[in-house]
Amino acid sequence: MVIEPYVHKVQYYETDQMGIVHHSNYIRWFEEARVDILEKLDMAYDQMEIQGIMIPVLGVHCEYKSMVHFGESVLILPRVKSYDGIRLRLSYTIIDALNHQLKTLGHSDHCFMDLEQRLVSLRRKRPDLHERFQQLAQVRYRGIDNE
């Protein structure tokens, strides 16, 4: 499946007094792109919550490779790093929207919970969603990956 990369335009309120994007915002950008890709695969967060499935964040990791400035746009590219029906690790590559220079690498770890905050095995309880997460692992980005 080939999808469009998620674009984020840097906002003034995301900068700090070093004149660059404050490092905490990248964690929010990961979320933006995660929400976007799940939506593109028909697993929108708000629809999932209505169906009683939440996808909490267990951990995040972020390495800042080069600085991002106000006025720039970046592509945020989430990919499935590992998925076994119970746990999900997404990796993120952030690159400059124009010249594709590497900006940031990171990943986030997730599980699946029902509304009573119990762990859910998608493999057993929701084979429909399980299949979609397997499709997610096959995603390629237009203009970035070999299609």
As measured in angstroms, the least distance from the Cβ of 11 to a second copy is 6
Q: What residues form DSSP beta bridges with 110?
A: 57, 88
According to CB under 8 A, which one of 2, 7, 58, 102 is a site residue for a second copy?
Answer: 58
Locate the DSSP E strands across the chain: 2-3, 6-9, 57-64, 73-83, 87-96, 102-111, 140-141
Q: Which is nearer to a second copy, 22 or 100 (CB)?
A: 22
According to CB under 8 A, which one of 1, 12, 99, 116 is a site residue for a second copy?
Answer: 12
Verify binding: residue 45, a second copy, rule CB under 8 A: yes
Whether 16 is catalytic: yes
According to CB under 8 A, which one of 13, 99, 116, 118 is a site residue for a second copy?
Answer: 13
Verify binding: residue 15, a second copy, rule CB under 8 A: yes
Bin 91: left if φ > 0, else alpha if -120 < ψ < 50, else beta.
beta
Site for a second copy in 73-132 (CB under 8 A): none
Q: Tell which residue, 131, 120, 124, has the closest CA to residue 42.
A: 131
70 token code pair: 């106000």
Verify binding: residue 31, a second copy, rule CB under 8 A: yes
Instruction: Say if CB 109 and CB 57 are below 8 A apart.
Output: yes
Bin 116: left if φ > 0, else alpha if -120 < ψ < 50, else beta.
alpha
Site residues for a second copy per CB under 8 A: 11-13, 15-20, 22-25, 27-28, 31-32, 35, 44-46, 54, 56-64, 69-71
> Where in the sequence numbering do the catalytic residues fall?
16
